[in-house]
Amino acid sequence: QTRDFLDRVLAASQAAVVAVDGEGRIQMVNRNALVLTGHLSTDSLIGQRLCEDIYLFHSKETDPILRCLKRGEEVRIAEGVLLRGDHSQIPIQYATTRFTHGDGTTWVLFNALDISELQRLRAEIARKEHLGIYRRLMAEFAHEIKNPLGGIEGFASLVKKELERDPRLTKL
């Protein structure tokens, strides 16, 4: 009954969830972990040893799951790049947590979310901010040009009035 409840909780989670045993072998994944990693079945992940049979990150040194397992370096929240089964990369936000399994061994729970859309939105915001700065600079530039032109226009208008009043000045 408890196991069934936990399975339903994991299935309902929006995050990809991967549990890794003390040997670095993947022992449990939820449906979203399959989607995120690009694997079609749990069989392609369960029992696989990280950075030997399967790579979710570029190397043992950069793999936050192994760093948490071997060095105790838990991550509360960070961003990184996950390697998918088809060798493509996907930006993720992730966390790692060490815990003690019922048999007394240390395991790691890895949770991750695809942040592709978030990164796209960040890039869009940065682009719009850049355009906003460009627009402000152009407005200031136009204002700086307009100010002297206004003075020149005013002076030309005065000269024109003087010329209309005294036509002899046109000979100058």
The contacts of residue 149 (CB under 8 Å, 6+ apart) are: none
pLDDT tens for each residue of 98-145: 999 989 999 999 999 999 888 888 888 888 888 878 788 887 877 777
| pTM metric for this prediction | 0.70
C-alpha span between 148 and 160 (Å, rounded): 18
**Residue 56 pLDDT > 80:** yes
- C-alpha distances in Å from residue 115, one per residue of 74, 91, 105, 111, 160: 20, 6, 32, 13, 66
- C-alpha distances in Å from residue 135, one per residue of 10, 43, 56, 130, 144: 48, 55, 43, 9, 14
- Provide the phi-psi class of 92: left if phi over 0, else alpha when psi is between -120 and 50, else beta: beta
pLDDT tens for each residue of 58-100: 888 889 999 999 999 999 999 999 988 888 999 999 999 999 9
